[in-house]
Amino acid sequence: MPVESVLELKGIAKEDKRAPYGYEISVEEIKILHKSHEDFPISKKYHGPDFLLQNRHLYLRSRKMQLILTIRSRVIQLIREWFTSRGYKEFQSPIFTSSAVEGGATLFPVKYVDGSTVYLTQSWQLYAEAAIASLGKIFTIAPSFRAEKSRTRRHLTEYWHVEAEIPFCDIEGLMKEEEELISFLCQNVAKEFEKELKELGRDPKDLLKVKPPFPRITYKEAIEILQKSGVKVKYGDDLGADEEKILASKFDIPFFVMFYPKGIKAFYHKLHPEDKSVTLSVDLLAPEGIGEIIGSGQRCDSYEELIERIKEENLDPKSYEWYLDLRKYGSVVHSGFGLGLERFLMWILKLDHIRDAIAFPRLINRVYP
């Protein structure tokens, strides 16, 4: 029968250590359920990444994709378990939005039914900040969209975003939640998928090491470390993939980078009370050159400071009227984070490219199949 034909076999299953799955069947009866066409495009010979992406609908059947997508499914279950066991409620925000959260450069415009332009969501955050006043601490697992114009190993145009928003929580409390969630996921995946991780080239011991507290450095220290390593970077520059890669090679578990200057962070971050040139922001970077997996911070809770930041960033305060209202009526200290699910999987499963962390990746040059 051609490969990928579907058969029903009856016989005796016997344990055999040499068999790939540990068992062999001595077949007594065969029923053909579907005879495949002869020309199944994927064979044992080397296929380039473009060919495998073009045939993604069939490549999903490969052992590699099966392992990755199985662990991905479990990770999503574990995330829900972790949040709900700690009293978080699950909350959904709209996908069509009228304004930017994370800067205009990666906004995805869509022609709306009334002819106006709306944007696909970059993050649930602004809506989540409205909802915490009603629900308390909340989380979501939902797609986010970024019109990323550069071709990199770690950017998708559509990715799954695990986000949380927490009232009465400052940057300290925020970092505790992040390190506990990440450790919980690493510990459970390492224990439940020992064999599968090894097959993917990841030593489960690497994940068992991931326990709080995670190391912390400030943005300023990060710049100093980079300069000492000979990188041409100056205070105030954003950390790109190359810089993060060098930083991340210095740690073997995830680590926090705190207090980025306001010039390179979104308008909603609270300014540091002792140095108003930096924000109470914190990114979590994964080791082994992966870089940022979480973006997060304490939110600006003052009406005056927020309106000033919106103007400083040349945004239109009119678009953010409803968001500003949240600072007029019962504003509280609050913080939140966003974890890129595929970035996280890319790290824990030791994948070379983010495209393999999702079944049908949306990339700068690909939306087929």
Footprint on this chain of ligand 4AD (rule: CB under 6 A): 101-102, 122-123, 125, 146, 148, 155-156, 159, 161, 163, 292-296, 336-338, 340, 342-343
**For residues 9 and 130, which CB has a smaller minimum distance to ligand 4AD in the complex?**
130
Place of tokens 């279950």: 77
Q: Does 295 bind Mg ion (CB under 5 A)?
A: yes
Q: Which residue has the CB atom at the shortest distance from Mg ion? A: 295
Contact (CB, 8 A) for 327 and 319: no
Q: Distance between CA atoms of 28 and 110, rounded to whole angstroms?
A: 58
In whole angstroms, the minimum distance from the beta carbon of 153 to ligand 4AD comes to 10
**For residues 204 and 338, which CB has a smaller minimum distance to ligand 4AD in the complex?**
338
**Residue 155 contacts which entry, ligand 4AD, Mg ion, none (Cβ below 5-8 A, type-dependent):** ligand 4AD
Structure-block tokens of residue 308 = 């000033």
**For residues 295 and 361, which CB has a smaller minimum distance to Mg ion in the complex?**
295
Contact (CB, 8 A) for 49 and 32: no
Strand order in the sheet with 138-145: 89-90, 138-145, 158-167, 334-340, 291-298, 281-286, 255-258, 216-218
In whole angstroms, the minimum distance from the beta carbon of 255 to ligand 4AD comes to 14
Contact (CB, 8 A) for 297 and 174: yes
Contact (CB, 8 A) for 356 and 65: yes
Q: Does 297 bind Mg ion (CB under 5 A)?
A: no
Contacting residues for 50 by C-beta, under 8 A, at least 6 apart: none
**Residue 88 contacts which entry, ligand 4AD, Mg ion, none (Cβ below 5-8 A, type-dependent):** none
Dihedral over alpha carbons 96, 97, 100, 102 (to 10 degrees) = -50
In whole angstroms, the minimum distance from the beta carbon of 338 to ligand 4AD comes to 3
In whole angstroms, the minimum distance from the beta carbon of 133 to ligand 4AD comes to 16
The separation between CA 155 and the C-alpha centre of its own chain, rounded to angstroms, equals 10
Contacting residues for 6 by C-beta, under 8 A, at least 6 apart: 32, 33, 34, 36
**Residue 196 contacts which entry, Mg ion, ligand 4AD, none (Cβ below 5-8 A, type-dependent):** none
In whole angstroms, the minimum distance from the beta carbon of 94 to ligand 4AD comes to 15
**For residues 140 and 331, which CB has a smaller minimum distance to ligand 4AD in the complex?**
140
In whole angstroms, the minimum distance from the beta carbon of 307 to Mg ion comes to 23
In whole angstroms, the minimum distance from the beta carbon of 279 to Mg ion comes to 12
Amino acid present at 294: I
**Residue 243 contacts which entry, Mg ion, ligand 4AD, none (Cβ below 5-8 A, type-dependent):** none
**Residue 296 contacts which entry, Mg ion, ligand 4AD, none (Cβ below 5-8 A, type-dependent):** ligand 4AD
**For residues 145 and 193, which CB has a smaller minimum distance to ligand 4AD in the complex?**
145
**For residues 204 and 297, which CB has a smaller minimum distance to ligand 4AD in the complex?**
297
Angstrom CA distances, 342 to 52, 131, 237, 337, stand at 19, 26, 26, 15
Q: Would you tell me which residues interact with Mg ion (CB under 5 A)?
A: 295
